[in-house]
Amino acid sequence: MKIGFIGLGNMGAPMAQNLARGGHSVTGYDTATISLQGVGSASSATEAVDGAEVVVTMLPNGDILRRVAAEIIPAMQKGAVFLDCSTVDVDSARAVAEMARDAGLLPLDAPVSGGVGGAQGGTLTFMVGGDEDGFEKAKPLFDIMGQKAVHCGASGNGQAAKICNNMILGITMIATCEAFALADKLGLDRQAMFDVVSTSSGSSWSMNTYCPAPGVGPKSPADNDYKPGFAADLMLKDLRLSQAAAETADADTPLGAAAMALYAAFVEEEDGAGRDFSAMLPRFSGRGRGS
């Protein structure tokens, strides 16, 4: 397929290269000067999408996506798939999809989980909103860039699935970290805590697969001085998106709001910027009830 790829950052670059390695003709564009082996380089976004059957975007946020969409949609050929893999707010995803559909395109919002490692290894999970025919057309590309693509329904539902999942993740990570910090103060050994909780009703992905305590459970960023992994900054972005969506949809999400406030303090006022999101454990360990 002839593919245009816009946004060649930490995630987009390896995704574009995997598509090229998979035998597709990929032309990339980024506002930063980025040249990638196997990927053609365009001097503008409109040049990158010219004649493309699928256009992939992997951009920082909803405002940038809206701006790029307004520029490229008129330049795209009718019937092409507009595959946005960025994590953005549900409203922007739905607005861009409507604009694309009106122009005769097949829009899909398909945010990913799996991080930079998943992008490099072609093992991402895609959560996809949009029509079935667009999903079917993009399926061979999901198979190259990822290991799983779940069709979640109408436009915006991919973003909805992503932020709901990550809201659960942020909340369970905080719960796991504060429980470890309490266990420490009660004199309970961290390994014993893991052995009990990981096989009991308090278990979760945060405890069992991504344990925030160094030296306990499977290898995780905690064992690498909390280098990300999944940065606390990105968790804060996703929690903010979840709370913006909750506001629009009039949903009651008190723990999501509390998790957002804690990650905001951690990233913006404390030492959380650039650290893995599981570094909430040393944060809680260093505090007492009044701090």
Which of the residues are catalytic?
Answer: 162
The piece of 59-67, 99-107, 202-210, 261-269 that touches ligand NAD (CB under 6 A) is 59-67
Q: State the binding string over 94-123 for ligand NAD (x if CB under 6 A, else -).
A: ------------------x--xx-------
Give the nearer residue to ligand NAD in terms of CB position, either 12 or 40.
Answer: 12
Q: Which of 3, 5, 7, 207 binds ligand NAD (CB under 6 A)?
A: 7
Give the nearer residue to ligand NAD in terms of CB position, either 68 or 281.
Answer: 68
Give the nearer residue to ligand NAD in terms of CB position, either 64 or 144.
Answer: 64
Q: Which of 12, 21, 8 is nearest to 112 (CA)?
A: 12
If one asks whether residue 31 binds ligand NAD (CB under 6 A), the answer comes out as yes
If one asks whether residue 6 binds ligand NAD (CB under 6 A), the answer comes out as yes
Classify residue 274 as left (phi > 0), alpha (psi -120 to 50) or beta: left
Per DSSP, which regions of 36-131 are E strands?
Answer: 40-41, 54-57, 81-84, 106-109, 112-113, 124-130
If one asks whether residue 93 binds ligand NAD (CB under 6 A), the answer comes out as no
Positions in 159-218 near ligand NAD (CB under 6 A):
none
Q: Which of 17, 27, 86, 157 binds ligand NAD (CB under 6 A)?
A: 86
Which residues, in sequence order, are bridge partners of residue 153?
Answer: 129
When computed from its CA atoms, the radius of gyration of the chain, rounded to whole angstroms, is: 20
Cα–Cα distance, 239 to 204 (Å, whole number): 18
Contact between residue 74 and residue 44 where contact means Cβ atoms under 8 Å apart: no
Report, in this order, helix, strand and coil percent for the chain, each rounded to 5: 50, 15, 35
The piece of 25-33, 74-82, 132-140, 179-187 that touches ligand NAD (CB under 6 A) is 25-33
Site residues (vs ligand NAD, CB under 6 A): 6-12, 29-32, 45, 58-60, 64, 68, 86-87, 112, 115-116, 234, 237
